[in-house]
Structure 1
């Protein structure tokens, strides 16, 4: 292996990219329904490769973690700050309780089994599958004032604890959220989602889940010949269907005429009606027989994406919008879908619109343009990242991380990780409020998160792999079993807290909130698969945004308390 050592010595970046390639290949291997994932696989691959002997400059590790944690904050910013209000106190309490339960469980285990600060932090990172703790804990350890060799050994222990406990950390969350919780609540996730949809829609049909499409189109147009509606105005017909349909085009004696609210229809006029399917079934009886488009009645419709920022309407339901917004203002505008923090939200009457929601509206070019101008800003279609905005955010975050405040002789600091996380949250929130600035396409943000974290973890594994093998041989089983405790106990306690203290009565909503409070994406994926609905997404989006911040901050807390 001397030749391999020489290659890595001359070009250590080869070892880094080899760790990523091998790690992501390992991460795709299925163990039943479970996958290790790219981050865990990269750490495992790096530890193995490190046995050859390789060292990567710690500056690479610092840069990778900075861009990763900034991107996490950037994506979570709108959801995090929008979640801090009275109407989401239940979800806030859920996420806070999970973080406190996790912290208490880790500290108790560390004291009972005499774990050092590094192993305790690794136990928190892996047992609660919050990989960012590796960085925030490592940063806190570096500021303890210990000798360099001791700091390096303790930071290596963080990676070791994470590697040993991460697998069950992901699997355990799936077991509790997808299997134990529905049995505890006595209702399957699918049935509970249907119950929630019926309640939110006032007894109507629910929304399709992620990746699902209705066999019958929800929005479309039909042409009718006026018979029954002769003598009525356009406004009268639209109001008869509760303004859920719009007469977009009228043809009289072969000529197209303007469709205005006060236009009086005559017998044999042809009208193009656009609306939702449930209203379109009834509208024929009000107008007359449906006819094939005989030319000139087709109309090009379009969709626009807008960022919802309307002042005074945050947390307003769709039903309230329809009731309070003037008819002429919302004429011909239909909500096709809503996304919150990258996740689909059911389009139901009682769904609350939050500032920062990305709403896709459907209608004519004029109607959709008016909706964008009134409700917020049109989402900028750009695949270019605003590096000025991003660079300023990272600089400010790193500067904040340098600030040290002495309290009773104890130096307190956010460190580079906490500073970049705070900057990401603020800059992401400002981007949500003013989307014309700071463009970072979702794909670019995802690349920063995936590559930044995986590369950071790989550098940790390469630099500490030799020591890791020794520690795993000495206490691997103990750390693994403690990881099981750290995974299961906070989840069970938070589930009971949610059910009996916070009064969650619906299994699907509780499952979404529980998985979000643990930032457990694999578990949330399992919940959506079982629920076959987007209902769990609403509580998940809120608790996930808060948990991303709270769980990341567990790193320095564990280091300080363990």
Structure 2
């Protein structure tokens, strides 16, 4: 009657459910979250329950691919700017932990696969466990991870609380400096109304002046003879015209030198014009530059790009990404057409297209399987996890290939990533649980 209790699929989802319930429990602000799944799996594996091994690889692939897709757009930009510093820090941390692990192997005669699990558990690195399991194929690796993980968590908490004091670092001041640096990298976008008083620009079109190129600012509105409208490249500026300019503080200052001083006058559109935030959800315009989009033919101007919560000044060469939010001013009659071009379908942001995921993972597996002989000394390959991660990073940075979008919505990515992690931890935990008793008997806990 209760045979279903030993069915692999039932065991899998029972472990995930129990693990998530345990992970939701909090003690003084600390909780295991998804990592609790592996501890439940270790226990049930020790009690003799099993799960089909295929779920382990499936979960691993989904988890690694979604990490790469999420990190890709910012990974290469950050690496170009801070690559040297980050490599030094990462190498120092990993090398020191690896040396300690190697020392433990020599001193305590710990099996290598167990030590690798301890290494990742001490660093609380679940992605590291995934890569380690791919490399060793040993369930004992997860046993080491499960033993070291709680100690690693406590160590991280103590480190974060104690280390700043030892190094005499003021975290509040460091946070303020970081925010200042962030503002410097992405200056705040403001707008200001100016009156044209420079005779040298009067009578010239915006195309002739190349305002964006000279100042970095955008003219979003022009008021001429009492009528306010959204300008196009052919719009001619006249003396005493009022213009609304959008940009960072430096760009606005340049515009004041070019055009004239600021004024406190209203530049509200009349009923023929409007300003709207529109979403980029049409795949056909993703990766297109603003110049190629050519919205000026619809009497519309992009005055601001909001990407991942950061406001950016648009430039002709700026390329649009899926999910960008654009502030557009233009003719009310033409705005409907502009909306159709961009898509502006909020529901699309939460959709998950599995075709790019399937193609990307398949390509990653193929890349990881390629083996290169290095100077006749050894063969090098990225392996399953390395190949999938590398391909995901590259595809996410590319953004789009033909009709295929490689990006994923935030909610979709989080869902698939967490599902993959849960499948992986449940399966590897059960297989490790079966070995846990013998490992502890042979190696002990000290």
1:264 aligned residue: 238
CA distance in 1, matches of 2:324, 2:428: 41
CA distance in 2, matches of 1:132, 1:200: 28
1:4-32, Cα deviation, whole Å (9 max, x unpaired): 5x2223x3211111111111121122222
2:327 aligned residue: 362
Deviation of the 1:173 alpha carbon: 3.1
Residues 277, 141 of structure 1: CA spacing in aligned structure 2 closer, same or farther, 3 A cutoff?
A: closer
Which one of the candidate residues 56, 70, 73 is aligned to 1:61?
A: 56
Residues 205, 141 of structure 1: CA spacing in aligned structure 2 closer, same or farther, 3 A cutoff?
A: closer
CA distance in 2, matches of 1:188, 1:420: 40
The DSSP-based 3-state class of the residue aligned with 1:364 is strand
1:118 aligned residue: 113
CA distance in 2, matches of 1:82, 1:244: 23
- The answer to whether the 8 Å contact 1:307/1:379 transfers is no
Deviation of the 1:161 alpha carbon: 1.4
- The answer to whether the 8 Å contact 1:307/1:358 transfers is no
Structure 1: 5+ residue stretches without partners = 143-154, 208-217, 311-330, 370-376, 479-562
Which one of the candidate residues 24, 29, 32 is aligned to 1:28?
A: 24
1:418 aligned residue: 386
Do residues 250 (structure 1) and 218 (structure 2) align? no
- The answer to whether the 8 Å contact 1:198/1:206 transfers is no
CA distance in 2, matches of 1:171, 1:434: 48
Do residues 19 (structure 1) and 2 (structure 2) align? no
Which one of the candidate residues 244, 256, 263 is aligned to 1:273?
A: 244
Deviation of the 1:80 alpha carbon: 4.3
CA distance in 2, matches of 1:94, 1:73: 21
Structure 2: 5+ residue stretches without partners = 290-299, 335-341
What are the within-5 Å matches in structure 2 for residues 215-294 of structure 1? 219=190, 233=202, 244=217, 246=219, 248-250=221-223, 252=225, 255=227, 259=231, 262-266=236-240, 271=242, 273=244, 275=246, 286=261, 288-291=263-266
Residues 174, 443 of structure 1: CA spacing in aligned structure 2 closer, same or farther, 3 A cutoff?
A: same
Give the TM-score, by structure 1 length.
0.57
2:155 aligned residue: 172
- The answer to whether the 8 Å contact 1:338/1:357 transfers is no
Do residues 193 (structure 1) and 171 (structure 2) align? no
- The answer to whether the 8 Å contact 1:65/1:452 transfers is yes
- The answer to whether the 8 Å contact 1:402/1:413 transfers is yes
Deviation of the 1:199 alpha carbon: 6.2
1:300-350, Cα deviation, whole Å (9 max, x unpaired): 23355697898xxxxxxxxxxxxxxxxxxxx975555444xxxx66979xx
2:130 aligned residue: 135
Deviation of the 1:401 alpha carbon: 4.6
Do residues 162 (structure 1) and 145 (structure 2) align? yes
- Give the count of matched residue pairs: 401
CA distance in 1, matches of 2:173, 2:187: 12
CA distance in 2, matches of 1:116, 1:65: 24
2:71 aligned residue: 76
1:412-447, Cα deviation, whole Å (9 max, x unpaired): 654433333343334334436879533533333322
Deviation of the 1:108 alpha carbon: 1.6
1:452 aligned residue: 420
Relative to structure 2, which stretch is displaced further, 377-386 or 43-52? 377-386
1:530 aligned residue: none
- The answer to whether the 8 Å contact 1:307/1:378 transfers is no
Give the TM-score, by structure 2 length.
0.70
Higher relative contact order (CA 8 A, sep 6+): 1
1:183 aligned residue: 165
1:39-71, Cα deviation, whole Å (9 max, x unpaired): x21111222333543211212222222222232
- The answer to whether the 8 Å contact 1:160/1:472 transfers is no
